[in-house]
């Protein structure tokens, strides 16, 4: 994987198994594009984009419902009225959903559809091209690169996307300083084992779906962090 390394000994002095291969070149791999997904021009990965967008919507929806439910419970605890049995009319279930922030939901959905789905799919293609063999070393490298490249990129982009929609780009540096590093470190505990499983047993075509399913939990965390 000289493409990620460069120089003698490759990336961090590793001797890559692709050392004798030609550099990554989309045009030279057109004949292989049907099998590897590399080359032959760009094709928008609609399936992965729809999957990522839908699951981003689900994660944000869970976060919003959790927040409103918690606020409702705290309001009831602070109430000075005597305790009594609540009727459906006083506390209808639909009241949890009627104040749903659909603009916030659209922000997260558009991020998943336009950015995370296509971007992560291209990233997984590139990793599989550079490290095609299913060895323990390649697995560890994929997980490591996923955390130090994709993880920070996702947090940087989603924070910027959210602030752009809200017209608060001037507040973005402060948001990064306050929340980016804690969010990234917290994510390591979840994404390292999930990424290992993803690269080890999940085929390339299903990786965005698998990671996006895990992202229901992660989008819940991101949505809550961005909307403090």
- Cα 156 from Cα 153, distance rounded (Å): 5
- Cα 138 from Cα 66, distance rounded (Å): 39
Domain count, the chain: 1
- Cα 150 from Cα 127, distance rounded (Å): 11
Q: Give pLDDT tens digits for 29-65.
A: 434 444 444 445 678 999 989 988 998 898 888 888 8
- Cα 55 from Cα 40, distance rounded (Å): 29
Question: What angle separates helix 46-78 from helix 204-226, to the nearest 10 degrees?
Answer: 30
Cα 7 to its chain centre, rounded Å, is 32
What percent of the chain shows pLDDT beyond 70?
Answer: 65
- Cα 81 from Cα 66, distance rounded (Å): 24
The mean pLDDT value for 87-97 works out to: 56
Residue 63 lies in a domain: no
- Cα 125 from Cα 34, distance rounded (Å): 13
Residue 75 lies in a domain: no
Residue 206 lies in a domain: yes
Looking at per-residue confidence, does 102 or 85 come out higher? 102
Mean pLDDT score of the chain: 75
Residue 50 lies in a domain: yes
Residue 166 lies in a domain: yes
Tokens of 206: 């299903």
130 pLDDT above the threshold of 90: yes
Tell me the CA distances in angstroms from 14 to 18, 23, 123, 143, 213, one per residue in order. Answer: 11, 17, 21, 16, 33
Model confidence band, residue 28 (pLDDT cutoffs 50, 70, 90): very low
Model confidence band, residue 78 (pLDDT cutoffs 50, 70, 90): low
Which residues constitute the domain of residue 131?
Answer: 46-55+100-226
Q: Give pLDDT tens digits for 150-168.
A: 989 998 998 999 999 989 9
**The pLDDT value given to residue 119:** 94
Residue 220 lies in a domain: yes
Residue 37 lies in a domain: no
Looking at per-residue confidence, does 8 or 89 come out higher? 89
Residue 183 lies in a domain: yes
């Amino acid at each position: 994987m000289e493409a990620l390394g460069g120089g003698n000994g490759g990336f961090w002095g590793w001797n890559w198994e692709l050392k004798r291969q030609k550099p990554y070149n989309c045009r030279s791999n057109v004949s292989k594009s049907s099998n590897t997904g590399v080359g032959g021009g760009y094709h928008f990965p609609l399936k992965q984009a729809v999957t990522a967008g839908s699951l981003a919507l689900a994660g944000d929806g869970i976060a919003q419902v959790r927040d409103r439910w918690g606020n409702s419970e705290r309001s009831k605890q602070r109430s000075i009225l005597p305790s009594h049995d609540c009727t459906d009319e006083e506390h209808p279930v639909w009241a949890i959903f009627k104040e749903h922030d659909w603009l916030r939901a659209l922000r997260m959905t558009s991020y998943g559809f336009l950015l995370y789905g296509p971007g992560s799919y291209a990233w997984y293609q590139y990793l599989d091209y550079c490290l095609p063999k299913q060895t323990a070393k390649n697995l560890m490298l994929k997980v490591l690169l996923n955390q130090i490249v994709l993880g920070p990129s996702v947090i940087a982009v989603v924070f910027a996307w959210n602030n752009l929609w809200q017209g608060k780009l001037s507040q973005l540096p402060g948001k990064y300083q306050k929340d980016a590093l804690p969010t990234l470190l917290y994510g390591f505990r979840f994404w390292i084992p999930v990424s290992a499983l993803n690269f080890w047993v999940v085929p390339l075509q299903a990786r965005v779906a698998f990671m996006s399913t895990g992202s229901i939990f992660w989008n819940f965390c991101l949505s809550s962090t961005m909307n403090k």
